[in-house]
């Protein structure tokens, strides 16, 4: 009699993503944290995941002021750290709720009038300009 095959990596990742996506907004990361706590994992694997998460945070912070996908790297690093820290998981859940509120507010105001759309676009351009200016200033100070 043969042993049952364990699901391959693709199947496991798909299953984990489905359970994460199906969780209630504002509870996704904490539920994921508790699910990971119930599964025994090696200390070495956990240490490796934490180190990769910290490295992605450092790279993401660097990429915020240099060309590259800084926000994506920060989110990846934080999601890895959320597997091992209830505090990070809770913070990400609160951030998700806050972003959903902002998104609803933007959608609501975007649909009201042309003036609202113009003000939202202006605010976006202003924030982008401030971020680019901060990045240029940071590079100038770094080169001195």
DSSP string, 37-75: HHS---HHHHHHHHHHHHHHHHHHHHHHHSSS-HHHHHH
User: In the prediction, which pLDDT does 5 show?
Assistant: 60
pLDDT tens by residue, 79-111: 989 988 999 999 999 999 999 999 898 888 888
Sequence spans of domains, the chain? 9-92
> Are the C-beta atoms of 62 and 55 separated by less than 8 Å?
no
Q: Which two tokens stand for residue 6?
A: 């364990």
What is the structure's pLDDT at 6?
Answer: 65
Q: 39: buried, middle or exposed (CB in 10 Å: 19+, 13-18, 0-12)?
A: exposed
Mean pLDDT for each 10-residue chunk of the chain (144 residues)? 65 82 88 84 84 92 82 90 91 92 88 87 89 80 80
Q: What is the pLDDT of residue 125?
A: 92
How far, in Å, are 25, 56, 105, 138 from residue 99 at the CA level?
11, 22, 10, 27
- 116 vs 102: CA distance, rounded Å: 15
């Amino acid at each position: 009699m043969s042993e049952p095959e364990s699901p391959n990596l693709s199947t496991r990742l798909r299953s984990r993503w489905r359970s994460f996506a199906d969780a209630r907004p504002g509870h996704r990361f904490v539920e994921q944290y508790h699910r990971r706590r119930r599964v025994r994992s090696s200390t070495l694997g956990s240490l490796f995941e934490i180190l990769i998460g910290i490295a992605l945070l450092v790279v993401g912070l660097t990429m915020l002021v240099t060309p590259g996908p800084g926000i994506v790297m920060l989110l990846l690093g934080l999601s890895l750290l959320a597997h091992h820290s209830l505090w990070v998981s809770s913070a990400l859940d609160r951030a998700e709720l806050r972003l959903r509120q902002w998104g609803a507010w933007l959608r609501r105001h975007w649909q009201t009038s042309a003036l609202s759309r113009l003000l939202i676009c202006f605010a976006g351009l202003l924030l982008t300009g401030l971020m680019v200016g901060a990045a240029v200033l940071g590079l100038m100070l770094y080169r001195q």
